[in-house]
Structure 1
Amino acid sequence: GEMPLPEEELKKYLLKPTLEREDVDKKLPQWVEADMQQGAGLVQRRLRAEGYLNAETLLLPAPVAGPDMRRDLTLEIKTGPKFIFGQASIIGSPPELEKLTQAEMTQAHGTPFNEARVQQIQKRLDSICTEHGWLHAVTTADYTLGKAGGTVDVVFRVQAGERVRITRITTHDGFSRGAKRVLLAKFRPLTGQIYEAAEADFFFKRALDTGMFALLDTKVLPENGNLAAGNLRITGEETKPITVGFELGFDTFLGAQFGVTYKNTNWRDTGNTLAAELSYSMAGPVGFVSVTNPAVFNSQHSATLRFALEQFNRFEYDRIGTALTLDVARRLNQALSYSMFLGTSANTVSSRVLTLPQTGPADYSLMSLGANVMYDRRDSPVLPKKGWYI
């Protein structure tokens, strides 16, 4: 009869176990019955995924080999009736999630019916509930299959249970004192709030941004047996706090360059980051020392205090400058962040060739004060395909 799927597609499933062997000739493969039986099983599973739940396959090798010592192989397929999703309804879903859960029902209507798809929808409904605080939700499905195929009406029953409110934040005992301080500060806004996966993920990423952690994981546990109260438990691993780097290069303007960098993401077990850099070129040395507190007064603000020294000695012009800057920043949500900065610098200029009107004052200072606001609605900060950025 008529093939339910393209013959070439079914052949790929049939030959898949054979062609995956390392020693096989892909142009003239020698088949092994066990591999072909496995391939026939894949064809059967593929047909059932398309709604042919009673599909059967039978492998029929030719009784004798041909003159070229090659044996023909036939796969007999009995598809049986096709089943498709009919009316998909949901009972027990929280009213707040009605729009999201109903969208799953709409997508299922008219598609090939199979048990794997039903289980997938059940898991998706559980996931939607979990993402919005119903962490103990369980979904079951009721349906009846007719002998002649056709539409299958499915009723999904959601037992949402209690919606969880975060009452406490705790960390694994293996974290250092500084790491615990940063984690508790970063996740503190969740305390007293209904659990929302998107919001928890936001603070999760902010903790990773500190550079202190190689791995983090969170899990909400019932608090003293109360399913409506949750203890957000944070586990994971810290990175190696101290890194030292060396660099060597050449610039057409500054000439040869070399430098050394140092970074400690948990300085003196405080959770603060100490960074330093010293580099040298033909224009002179440049260096800085900075301290970053990722949770100022255990808040969502971070602050960086930076002291820098720079010498520029090229083309009969010598300038030595020192600068001190303070930057306070906060990310309010996934899209909006801001920072405020205050800086001052002192500079000394000298030259044996240039005159005072040309160089300006021998000693001068600068001060800067300002703020930055960033609003990022791109779908990805690395490889954006849509959105906008201000």
Structure 2
Amino acid sequence: MITFLKDRVSVVRSAGMAVLFGVVPLSQAFAETTVDIRGMKSKSESDVLQLIGGRLVYIREKEANSWRANDAAFMVREILQNDGYHSAEVTAKVEGSNMIALIVSEGPRLSLGEVLIETDGDGDVESLHKTFVTPFGSTTPFGAGSAPFREEDVPKGLEFVTRQLMAEGYWSAEATLKKKNIDPETGEVDMSVSVKQGPRFKIRRPTVDSPDGRGVKRAATTWQPFLEEWATTENVNKLRAEMLEAFTSRGYPDVTVLMNNRLGYDSYFPDFTIMLGVRVKLVDIKVDGLSRTRPKRVKQIMEPLKEGWYDEAAMNSKVKELLATGAFRSVRIEKTEVAPKRINATLHFEEAKAKEVTFSAGADSFNGPLFRAGFTDRNFRGALRGFSAGMELSGRGILGEVRLTDPWWRGTDVQRGHRLYSLIKAYDGYTTYETGYESSWEYDVTEHYSMKLLGGLSFVTVAEEELPISLLGDTQYFHTWVKFTQSLDYRDSKILPKSGWHVDLPLQIGAAIGDDTNTYLKAGVDGGIYLPISDTWQLGIGGFAELVTTSGGIAQLPVDLRVFNGGARSVRSFPERELGPSFAGDPYGGDFSWAVNTEVSKSLKGPLRAVAFVDAGAVTGDYTGPRQGGLEIAAGLGVHIDLPIGPVRLEYGHNLTQDDAEPSGTWHFAIGTTF
């Protein structure tokens, strides 16, 4: 008897004879098994093999046999059926120790044809259609051509439509397949879907049950603002969350709030069951796991939460703020009873790497190419302050700056900032050299209302180039200023807003102290509103107005303190800052600038959106001689790509009021919203 041991040498004794066998590893005893797909008509063999991918590895590395061949046939059959070849057959055949043949009979392909949505209400038919066909394209193997028709996707699509309508407040909505027709020549499957939308429900008076009677009055004050609101998923979830927070923020960390519902004809009745548990006070806050961060600093930040009823919502909010600094990977809260109705909270930290060196590059239509290198310490000297130093080089100049930010100035919720900077920047007609210091305080008064106070002192030199010295104002001066801004923001997102509105009201006073002292007051307003028309269409209206008044007249105010217009965030038929008074094509600003922007956008696919816009605006100044700035109107088109950093915008604005020496239009490339 001879025994083969994988990857070893075996000595076998038989009939008084010793024989030495060099054993070949089993994995190398035969060549790689080839899988040959035959009979494909609409797809290539390489397409199918690529889709199967790594699942064929175990077949190719082993000797061909019937059950491995059947496995390969099953994989190919599954791929084809997922692409609409519902009757596809794949026969496996072993043609040697290293050859498997798969004979394919595709049969007809069924694809998704026309889908007609019939509704008894005023629902967005386009949106319902998009929702219904979603499952048909979700697993298209070959990623191109018409979506396959799979019978199992029909109930999924109907369920998606029903869920969407319920989320919008139509709790009795029902979607059913009314008709299905298969074209025998093309294989297209046309369907008619009947949507019974029913009435839109409103939130009516809830019932509240509490075993011990506690919490009923507090619950009533919480749900009262929701009465007669539409019973959308958003509003219902918000009601549930606020009911819970009404008690966790008042010393009941272990409260249980259960929510069910009853439905009337057009009424959504929430039913709450509340079990408060024990009300506790927070005695002390301890910290654990800190090595680079000062424990005293964390306790200072958390101090306002002590010596009162334990507010779990406020505690969670503070923890989120700590995580937002980037100094920690995780924070876990542990509550310990230290006396009846008294607890301590221990924060268990896992610190993160706080220091990093970064390099970045970009471009926009005004500055040209941008390159930046910087160093950041998100936990400067262990005090949870942010320190950064960096240098930025662009097509228009160079900036060097150092920043220090304290998110909790003196243990409060006021954010304090310091900035030292030096800037060289070339504008059309002149170049500015500026070195200075800025200081800021920022406070979020409420979720939607914030205030910011800034002050600064700098030394500025303006170098004459194409613009004559008479149009530049003071060219060497100290600039001191204070700016106060109030902001109201009700957008659903500050980065990628789809609904809501915001407005900023900046007010700035300052002085340019050079050969003469010129004081000024600058006031403005800017903002916008976003109105969703449907799931895919959106209307946006925004703009700004800015006025500067001076003690010595606008012509004496340094050119870089005046107001300008034109560019990617104003009237887009002009390059940046080039709308308004100019000399030989170089702008020199004015004392009043305004713009109104109107945008209509449509989602195309994924993050891609198409945009059409109309802008109007002007710049005025009390000059004599050079050309004044009149009303300018632009119309244009663009493409936006919605990314986590904001919309990346490529737009062209056409000048509808073109005068001599004005551009017929301008291309813009920018990142961020228009307004």
The alignment's TM-score, normalised by the length of structure 2, stands at: 0.36
Q: CA deviation at 1:188?
A: 1.9
Of 126, 129, 134, which aligns to 2:252?
134
Counterpart of 2:346 in structure 1 is 233
Of 281, 290, 306, which aligns to 1:165?
281
Of 203, 206, 210, which aligns to 2:318?
203
Counterpart of 1:185 in structure 2 is 300
> Cα gap change, 1:246/1:334 in structure 2, threshold over 3 Å: closer, same or farther?
same
Q: CA deviation at 1:309?
A: 1.0
> Cα gap change, 1:88/1:257 in structure 2, threshold over 3 Å: closer, same or farther?
closer
What are the superposed Cα offsets for residues 120-164 of structure 1, whole Å, 9 maximum, x if unpaired? xxxxx9998556422355899xxxxxxxxxxxxxxx794x44311
Q: Which amino acid aligns with 2:315?
A: A
> Cα gap change, 1:307/1:202 in structure 2, threshold over 3 Å: closer, same or farther?
same
> Cα gap change, 1:188/1:89 in structure 2, threshold over 3 Å: closer, same or farther?
closer
The 2-side partners of 1:382 and 1:350 are apart by 37
Q: Which amino acid aligns with 2:284?
A: R
Q: Does 1:99 align with 2:216?
A: no
The 2-side partners of 1:251 and 1:186 are apart by 40
Q: CA deviation at 1:369?
A: 1.0
Aligned 8 A contact 2:293 2:379 in 1: no
The 2-side partners of 1:380 and 1:132 are apart by 29
Q: CA deviation at 1:301?
A: 2.0
Counterpart of 2:511 in structure 1 is none
Which segment drifts farther, 285-294 or 201-210? Answer: 201-210
What are the superposed Cα offsets for residues 150-194 of structure 1, whole Å, 9 maximum, x if unpaired? xxxxxx794x4431111212211335334x345323322211221
The 1-side partners of 2:222 and 2:393 are apart by 64
Q: Report the secondary structure of 1:266's partner residue.
A: strand
The 1-side partners of 2:452 and 2:348 are apart by 30
> Cα gap change, 1:345/1:205 in structure 2, threshold over 3 Å: closer, same or farther?
same
Q: Report the secondary structure of 1:297's partner residue.
A: helix
Aligned 8 A contact 1:185 1:300 in 2: no
Where do residues 36-115 of structure 1 align in structure 2 (5 Å cutoff)? 90-95=210-215, 99=219
The alignment's TM-score, normalised by the length of structure 1, stands at: 0.58
The 2-side partners of 1:251 and 1:127 are apart by 45
The 1-side partners of 2:394 and 2:256 are apart by 65
RCO comparison, higher one (Cα < 8 Å, 6+): 1
Q: Report the secondary structure of 2:413's partner residue.
A: coil
Q: CA deviation at 1:279?
A: 1.4
What are the superposed Cα offsets for residues 320-367 of structure 1, whole Å, 9 maximum, x if unpaired? 111211001223443333221111221112236654213332302322
Where do residues 1-390 of structure 1 align in structure 2 (5 Å cutoff)? 90-95=210-215, 99=219, 130=248, 132-136=250-254, 158=275, 160-178=276-294, 180-222=295-337, 224=338, 226-313=339-426, 317-351=430-464, 354-378=467-491, 381=494, 389-390=502-503
The 1-side partners of 2:220 and 2:300 are apart by 32
Q: CA deviation at 1:374?
A: 3.0
User: How much is the aligned-residue C-alpha RMSD, in angstroms?
Assistant: 4.0
Aligned 8 A contact 1:175 1:237 in 2: no
The 1-side partners of 2:222 and 2:428 are apart by 72
Counterpart of 2:631 in structure 1 is none
The 1-side partners of 2:257 and 2:313 are apart by 22
The 2-side partners of 1:126 and 1:284 are apart by 54
Aligned 8 A contact 2:249 2:314 in 1: no
Q: Which amino acid aligns with 2:219?
A: K
Q: Report the secondary structure of 1:372's partner residue.
A: strand
Q: Which amino acid aligns with 1:176?
A: R
In structure 1, the gaps of 5 or more residues are 1-21, 29-86, 104-124, 141-155
Aligned length: 275
Q: Which amino acid aligns with 1:365?
A: F
Q: Which amino acid aligns with 1:336?
A: Y
> Cα gap change, 1:329/1:175 in structure 2, threshold over 3 Å: closer, same or farther?
farther
The 2-side partners of 1:287 and 1:221 are apart by 49
Q: CA deviation at 1:96?
A: 5.3
The 2-side partners of 1:320 and 1:139 are apart by 62
In structure 2, the gaps of 5 or more residues are 1-73, 88-206, 224-242, 259-272, 504-675
Counterpart of 1:144 in structure 2 is none
Counterpart of 1:71 in structure 2 is none
Q: Which amino acid aligns with 2:378?
A: T
Aligned 8 A contact 2:328 2:349 in 1: yes
> Cα gap change, 1:92/1:349 in structure 2, threshold over 3 Å: closer, same or farther?
same
Q: CA deviation at 1:305?
A: 0.5
Aligned 8 A contact 1:249 1:256 in 2: yes
Q: CA deviation at 1:98?
A: 6.1
Q: Which amino acid aligns with 2:280?
A: V
The 1-side partners of 2:364 and 2:274 are apart by 68
Q: Which amino acid aligns with 2:212?
A: G
The 1-side partners of 2:212 and 2:318 are apart by 31
From the two aligned structures, give the one with the greater helix fraction: 1
The 2-side partners of 1:367 and 1:133 are apart by 49
The 2-side partners of 1:219 and 1:334 are apart by 27
The 1-side partners of 2:212 and 2:461 are apart by 74
Q: Report the secondary structure of 2:309's partner residue.
A: coil
Aligned 8 A contact 1:247 1:260 in 2: yes
Q: CA deviation at 1:253?
A: 4.5
Q: Report the secondary structure of 1:91's partner residue.
A: coil
The 2-side partners of 1:196 and 1:213 are apart by 22
> Cα gap change, 1:294/1:88 in structure 2, threshold over 3 Å: closer, same or farther?
closer
Q: CA deviation at 1:297?
A: 2.2
Q: CA deviation at 1:381?
A: 5.0
Counterpart of 2:165 in structure 1 is none
Q: Report the secondary structure of 2:400's partner residue.
A: strand
Q: Report the secondary structure of 1:203's partner residue.
A: helix
Q: Which amino acid aligns with 1:344?
A: L
Q: CA deviation at 1:315?
A: 5.7
Which segment drifts farther, 340-349 or 366-375? Answer: 366-375
Q: Which amino acid aligns with 2:450?
A: S
Q: Report the secondary structure of 2:321's partner residue.
A: helix
> Cα gap change, 1:340/1:254 in structure 2, threshold over 3 Å: closer, same or farther?
closer
The 2-side partners of 1:101 and 1:250 are apart by 52
